[in-house]
Amino acid sequence: MRQDDVGNNAEMIPEEAANYIKNNFNKGNIACMTGAGISAESGIPTFRGKGGLWEKYRPEIYATTMGLVSTFENKPEKIVDFLNDFYPFLLNAKPNPGHIALAVMQKEGILKAVVTQNIDSLHQQAGSRSVIELHGNAFRIRCTDCLKTIACEKDRIKEMVELLKMYRRQRLQLLRILSRYFPKCECGGRFRIDIVLFGETLPPDALKEAYRVLENCSLLLVIGTSLVIYPVASLPLYVKERGVKIVEINNEPSNFPCDLFIQGKAGEILPEILKIL
Ligand code: OAD
């Protein structure tokens, strides 16, 4: 079904997607790729579009090392306010029916793996086991030198954000707080939050694993992503070049040349698909 048909046949589409899945199930593995849209119904703002994070915060400041460091030097309160605005969404979010439907598909052996750009851990919280995080995880810290990672509990992050708020204009105090939560690594390097900023390379092991999954998949579900950030945006094209079918779910029209487009909320469409399978 083409995107133009969606309006007239919306109720038929989950069935068609389910048929795609059924027809391709025996041929190999089904993979899915998710973006911020799947977590929108969990209350986490997306990056682009109306109400998106980048509408309020300029990504060149808040999503690059250079922007963050220089802003922290001059106006540290801007960084503190950003963290205080964004982290509570991540801290309070719970998996929605979209995450849960994917987790069930994975448990039932229908879905092989979830390749995600999201940093919110909601796929894992929903019970998905094989989750490949291409942009890192907001609840993990990483050594900048040896790349060792350590999980960082939500309560600890909450505590850090609360402390930062108390000293939002006092750069030296803020640095002291940050060095407590981002300590030195035993290798001599320093830990930082384990998320990928603009201009940084993707975690090589995760990228390798994503390619391995996508090279073997027989159907790809692309869910809730604007597909504008590379290299992740090139992955579905790579899959398509192999002649593999792609089903896209997005609540806005998309230009991606998928085989089946379902316009709607992931948290509504995915449970519908699961019901039919
Ligand atoms: P975007 O914010 O760019 O796109 C979110 C997509 O989800 C849009 O296409 C929306 O139409 C769609 N959407 C919103 N709500 C939805 C819902 N309930 N169901 C289905 N679709 C919905 O987010 P990403 O594509 O994930 O990277 O952004 C990619 C990367 O850009 C992020 O990982 C982040 C960002 O800058 C870095 O920071 C490095």
What pLDDT is attached to residue 28? 67
Residue ranges of the chain that CATH labels 3.40.50.1220 = 1-44+95-135+202-277
Active site residue 99: no
What's the pLDDT at 7?
A: 39
> CATH 3.30.1600.10 residue ranges in the chain?
45-92+136-195
> CA nearest 194: which of 224, 243, 149, 129?
149
Average pLDDT, the chain: 93
Q: Which CATH code is given to the segment(s) 45-92+136-195?
A: 3.30.1600.10
CATH fold, domain 1-44+95-135+202-277, is Rossmann fold (3.40.50)
Taking the centre of ligand 1 as the mean of its atom positions, its distance from the CA of residue 228, in whole angstroms, is 9
Question: How many other CB atoms are found less than 10 A from the CB of residue 121?
Answer: 21
Percent helix, strand and coil across the chain, each to the nearest 5: 50, 20, 35
Tens-digit pLDDT profile for residues 127-169: 999 999 999 999 999 999 999 999 999 999 999 999 999 999 9
Q: How far apart are the CA of 227 and the centre of ligand 1, in A?
A: 8
Element (H, E) at 16: helix 13-25
Average pLDDT over residues 10-33: 81
- Answer whether residue 2 shows pLDDT above 60: no
Closest CA to 46 of 228, 214, 271, 274: 228
pLDDT for the residue 16:
86
Which residue reads 């192999």 in tokens? 242
% pLDDT > 70, the chain: 95
Cα–Cα nearest to 155, from 184, 181, 189, 178: 181
Specify the pTM: 0.94
Estimate the crossing angle of helix 171-181 against helix 76-92, to 10 degrees. 40
